[in-house]
Amino acid sequence: MQSIIDFLEDGKAVYLESAILGTGDHAELLPYFGIGEHSTPCVLYAGIETIIADSTETFNEFSMSYLYGSNADYGIDALDADLGTPFSHSQDDAIRGIFYDSGEYRTIASSAFFGAMADGSTGNTKAAIMTQYLSFLMGDPIPNIYVLEDELTFELTFPEIFYTLELEIFNTGLDTLIINNISISGDGFVYDDLTEFELNPSEQQIVEVGFMIDETGDYSGELIIASNDPDTPELIVQLSAECVLPPSILCDPSFIDVTLISNDIHQEMLTISNSGGVDLNCELVINDSSQYTDWLEVDQEFLSIQPGGEEEILIFFNPDGLENGQYSTELVIYNNDPSQEELIIPISMTLSLTDADDDFVSTTNKLIGNYPNPFNPITTIEFSVTQTSALVTLEIYNIKGRKVKQLVNDQLSAGTHSIVWNGTDENNTPTSSGIYFYKLKAGNFQQTRKMILLK
C-alpha cells in the first residue's frame, strides 16, 4: 500500500479496482483516490446487472452489461465520494467508479471489475472506455484516431470491374478529432469520399475505398489520413489487390435433345470447362417451373474446376411411367464467370414407345416399386413375372450407372415377388446416401425405377 502512495506522491497516476475498495483495509489510500469514509458493502454481485457512466467533461457516457451476476460469492462496495468525482454507477444508482485529479497526480478507483464488463458495440467498447481512462490518467484530453484495419485487401479482382471496401474511422480520444485530408496512392485505387470532417469523442465515420484496373497483376497503395491527433498526424492504411483473369465457362454440348424408344434409363454426358484464370465454381439446377421433371437427374450439383480444367457431368433420362410425347426443361448452371453467371442448357426428351412395348408392359411383367422410399437402410422391392421359364434379374445401380449389387438372377415362378435390399454392395459394405436405380429384366422385358437412400 505504501508503494502506491509513494508512486502517487511522485506525480504518477494509478487505476485501482477492488471488490472492497471502500470498506476494506484501504483507509490510508482513500484520500488519494478521492473516496469518502462512508462506502458500504453489498453482500453479492447478484444485484449488479449493468455498469453505467454518465457523460462528464472528462468521460463519455457508456453502458456495459455486468457478467458476474449471482455466480459471485463475495461482496462489492458501493463507493462514497469525497474530493473525487463519481462517474460510473450500477443500475441501482450505487457509485462504482470515482476519478480524482489532485493537481499533482490523477487516480481512478473502481469497485466494479473491468474484466466482468461485457464488450459492447462500436463506440461502447471496453477498448474505447480504457482509452478514456488512459487519456485522463496521462494528462490533457487529446483526440485519438483509430481504425479497425490497418490494411485493406481487395483479394481477387477481375479487369474492368469496380470494387469497393469500407473503412471505419474512430475517435477514441477525449477531444474532437479533425480530419484535415484523405488522399490515396497506387495504380487502380480510388478515393472519392469525404476528405474533411470532424469526430467528437467516441464517434465514427465510414468511408469507401475503390479499386479498378484493366491489366492483371499485383497492386499496392496507401490511404493517407491527416488529422489533429498529436501522436498520429498521418495514419497510413496499406492497400493491396490482385487482379486476375476471371473464370470462363464453356459447355459442350450447348443443348441436349434425345429420342427414347424404350423405358430404359438413358444417359448423356455434358462437359464443362474453364478457360479462365481462377477456379470456376458451379451449381447445377434443373428448372422445374414449366413441367414435372422427375425424369431428369444429374450426378453432380456442385463442382469447382481449376483454370484449364474440365469436368464431365452425367445426365440421366428416366422415362418410366411417362406417356409418349416430348418433354422439355432447362439445366441452369449458376457460376462465377462474370460474363454469364447463369448459363442455360436446353434439354428435350422425346418418348416414342411402340404399341407392342406398351401392351407388353401393361399385361405381363411389372416392376411394382419399393417401400419405403426414401429408406434407411432397408427397403423392399416388389415385382411380378408371368412366365415361369423366363430368367429374371434384379440389379441395383448408382447414379453414375455402375452396378452396385445383383439381388436376383434366377428362374422364378409366375406371380408377385418381393426382395429386401439392405443398402450394401456386393461385398456387403454399406453404401452412401444418394439416388439409386433398380432394374428388372425378365425375358425381353426390362424396367427401371428410382429410389433414395437417406442416412
| Residue at a domain's end among 112, 138, 164 | 138
* Paired strand residues for 342: 334
More confident residue, 448 or 163: 163
The answer to which of 81-90, 259-268, 296-305, 407-416 has the lowest mean pLDDT is: 259-268
Residues 14 and 123 reside in one and the same domain: yes
Residues 208 and 164 reside in one and the same domain: yes
- Residue range 385-414, pLDDT digits in tens: 887 767 899 999 988 788 999 999 998 888
In a domain, 107, yes or no: yes
Per-residue pLDDT, 358: 44
Per-residue pLDDT, 357: 45
Per-residue pLDDT, 360: 40
Confidence class of residue 242 from pLDDT cuts 50, 70 and 90?
A: very high
Average pLDDT over residues 22-39: 86
259's enclosing H/E stretch is strand 256-260
CATH, residue 288: 2.60.40.10
The answer to which of 45-49, 170-174, 350-354, 381-385 has the lowest mean pLDDT is: 45-49
User: Does the structure show a pLDDT above 80 at 338?
Assistant: yes
Average pLDDT over residues 87-107: 90
CATH, residue 436: 2.60.40.4070
Residues 95 and 163 reside in one and the same domain: no
Average pLDDT over residues 342-361: 73
User: Does the structure show a pLDDT above 90 at 283?
Assistant: yes
Q: Are strands 95-101 and 234-243 parallel, antiparallel or unpaired?
A: unpaired
Residues 85 and 9 reside in one and the same domain: yes
Per-residue pLDDT, 243: 96
Q: Residues 24, 25, 27, 32: is their CA dihedral positive or negative?
A: negative
- Residue range 181-238, pLDDT digits in tens: 999 999 999 999 999 999 998 899 999 999 999 999 999 999 999 999 998 999 999 9
In a domain, 357, yes or no: no
**Mean pLDDT computed over every residue of the chain:** 87
| Residue at a domain's end among 243, 264, 289 | 243
Residues 305 and 335 reside in one and the same domain: yes
The answer to which of 61-75, 143-157, 339-353 has the lowest mean pLDDT is: 61-75
Residues 6 and 134 reside in one and the same domain: yes
Per-residue pLDDT, 196: 96
In a domain, 380, yes or no: yes
- Domain of residue 224 covers 145-243
In a domain, 356, yes or no: no
Per-residue pLDDT, 83: 94
Confidence class of residue 252 from pLDDT cuts 50, 70 and 90?
A: very high
Residues 134 and 149 reside in one and the same domain: no
Question: DSSP E strands: which ranges in 54-203?
Answer: 62-65, 76-78, 85-90, 95-101, 106-110, 145-147, 151-157, 163-171, 177-185, 189-190, 197-199
Cα 200 to Cα 59, 138, 175, 197: the distances in Å are: 12, 20, 7, 10
| Residue at a domain's end among 138, 156, 176 | 138
Q: How far apart are CA 434 and CA 426, in angstroms?
A: 17
The total domain count for the chain is 4
Confidence class of residue 138 from pLDDT cuts 50, 70 and 90?
A: confident
